[in-house]
Amino acid sequence: MYKFQSIALLATATMVMASCGNSNQKKTDGRDTATANTIERVRIEKLSNGTPGPEKKSFFLRITDEVKTDSSRIYTAKALYNQDTVGAKFEIIDFIPAGIIDGQPSEDVGFTKGKIKISSTGTQSNNLVKALGELFETPTTDTFTKETILPNVFSSNKSNVDLSKKTAYSFKLFLDNKKAEPAELFFNVDTYKHSIEFSEKDASFRAGFLSALTGK
């Protein structure tokens, strides 16, 4: 059972991140005209302002494409690391229940499984694994898993998630892996800034995080 002390750190992590930078799909590739035009104008930015080392890292990905399905939004998000474009695909189910009830985290309704799905976009996701390995000072030649990653999700929001609104939503992800206990990660999606941001809880989860991304 996850401890509320760990969940309580979400508020601080969200403030730090904010300072950084197969469904039934509906066509015009899932985006309404306004959303499509906005996303097409955005520029991708640096993955991280951090340098390789033990310090906690935050990461910023710009949403460059959005597909709306009957129950979710599928975001393709990208960033730059050195000379490489890195990225991944994130499917977020709409109306994820609020996890903060009357000002307190609720374990009964706050945790859901598979409400956020992470998958590869190919070369750019492989580049993401490589970039994280370098920043974590754990170089790897492993590639991003071809399987969809289904973390356990805690919603740190006071209201249900409505991705049609221009606002930010915060979560904590617990990623199962083959090397350690579930890797904990702070995760933020901002539909106003068109961004996905995530940050480490601490460096002890790095091996597990990379294992979750690679499936090894």
> What's the whole-model pTM score?
0.81
Q: What is the pLDDT along the chain (216 residues), one digit of tens a residue?
A: 444 445 444 444 444 444 444 444 443 344 444 444 445 566 899 999 989 999 999 999 999 999 999 999 999 999 999 999 999 999 999 999 999 998 999 988 899 999 999 999 999 999 999 999 999 999 999 999 999 999 999 999 999 999 999 999 999 999 999 999 999 999 999 999 999 999 999 999 999 999 999 999
* SS3 per residue for the chain: CCCHHHHHCHHHHHHHHHHCCCCCECCCCCCCHHHHHHHHHCCCCECCCCCCCCCCCEEEEEEEEEEEECCEEEEEEEEEECCEEEEEEEEEECCCCCCEECCEECHHHHEEECCEEEECCCHHHHHHHHHHHHHCCCCCCCCCCCCCECCEEEECCCCCCCCCCCCEEEEEEEECCCCCCCEEEEEEEECCCCEEEEEECCHHHHHHHHHHHHCC
